[in-house]
Amino acid sequence: MELKGQFRCIFFDADDTLWENERYFRAAEAKFIELLADYTTPEGVQDMLWRKQEDNIPLFGYGSKTYMIGMTDAALELCGGSLTEEIYYGIKNIITELAFHELQIIEGVKETLEALQGKYELIVATKGDLPEQMAKFRKSGLAHYFHHCEVMENKDEKNWLEVAAKHNLHPEEILMIGNSVKSDIAPVVNIGGWAIHVPHEVVWVHEMMDMPQSDRIIEVKKITEILDYLL
């Protein structure tokens, strides 16, 4: 399937599509499990953390702040409502490392953007905390490839329709590149758009879902392969 010439804009997900993200949260999770090893099983810590994250997302949205609050809430419940000095400072150290980790661009991203620049209007479409996502965008060194960066509270059909209208696009004129079936692929296809799925080896548990069936979805193995369809 060739998509060349069909689209004016191409939207790119950010976390785990342009740069590494989830692997840092998994590393933080592993340290948190080790920190609370005396209180319950590894599975018990992980389950509690995931449940607290799920509880907090509707309140605080997506982003590391919600993860940090969830980690503290999980520790308080597992520790009986109070934290020892060791647990408190252990959580603080984990959160600090997570907040200031190095931003690593995924292999093939720069050459892909270089090849597409000037041929399409490239736009980042991500979700989460606005200041946090914009800080990563600026830190990435990729900003000069893009016309704009959209940061949504959530990547659902409603928000995708708003983004389409903002950029004077009909839904069928959206082409989204991303790793998350739940956020990048399914909602875009549901409103009539197109999507290219670029998988990442690590997927956040809250982003897991089955791939929908559609002839407007293309699946590739790595990001450079999208050029075969667009150039």
Residue 4 maps to a domain: no
Q: Are residues 75 and 152 in the same domain?
A: no
- Asked whether residue 2 is domain-assigned, the answer is no
Mean pLDDT of the chain: 92
* Contact between 70 and 43 (Cβ < 8 Å): no
pLDDT of residue 156: 94
Residue 41 DSSP code: -
Q: pLDDT grade, residue 203 (50/70/90)?
A: confident
129/16 same-domain check: yes
The reply to whether 39 and 113 lie within a common domain is no
Asked which of 60, 84, 99 is the last residue of a domain, the reply is 99
Statement to judge: residues 13 and 92 lie in one domain: no
Same-domain check for residues 45 and 128: no
Cβ atoms of 198 and 177 within 8 Å: the answer is: yes
- Given this model, what pLDDT does residue 186 score? 96
pLDDT of res. 2: 78
Q: What is the pLDDT of residue 129?
A: 86
Mean pLDDT of 22-32: 92
Predicted confidence band of residue 206 (pLDDT cuts 50, 70, 90): low
Using the predicted structure, report yes or no on whether residue 13 has a pLDDT greater than 70: yes
Q: Number of structural domains, the chain?
A: 2
pLDDT of 112? 98
pLDDT in the model for residue 217: 97
d(CA 212, CA 199): 15
- The boundaries of the domain holding residue 184 are 9-20+104-230
The residue-averaged pLDDT of 211-219 equals: 94
Residues 212 and 130 in one domain: yes
Average pLDDT over residues 111-132: 95
**Residues 122 and 89 both lie in one domain:** no
Residue after which a domain boundary falls, among 64, 99, 134 = 99
- Decide which of 54, 71, 99 is a domain's last residue: 99
Q: Does some domain include residue 159?
A: yes
Retrieve residue 154's tokens.
């959530």
pLDDT tens for each residue of 41-79: 999 999 999 999 889 888 887 778 888 899 999 999 999
- Predicted pLDDT of residue 166: 95
pLDDT per residue over 82-119, tens digit each?
A: 999 999 999 999 988 888 888 999 999 999 999 999 99
For the full predicted model, state whether its pTM sits above 0.85.
yes
Helix (H, G, I), strand (E, B) or coil at 194: strand
Distance CA 150, CA 30 (A): 31
Check whether residue 139 and residue 189 sit in a common domain.
Answer: yes
Is the pLDDT at 204 greater than 90, yes or no?
no
Rounded CA gap, 226 and 3, in Å?
Answer: 10
Q: Measured between alpha carbons, how far is residue 59 from residues 67, 98, 106, 117, 180 in Å?
A: 12, 21, 31, 38, 22
The gap between the terminal CA atoms of the chain, to the nearest Å, is 12
Are 108 and 221 part of one and the same domain?
yes
Average pLDDT over residues 201-205: 76
Domain harbouring 221, CATH code: 3.40.50.1000
Using the predicted structure, report yes or no on whether residue 130 has a pLDDT greater than 80. Answer: yes
Residues 36 and 136 in one domain: no
Q: Is it the case that residue 207 has pLDDT exceeding 80? A: no
- 70 and 120 in one domain? no
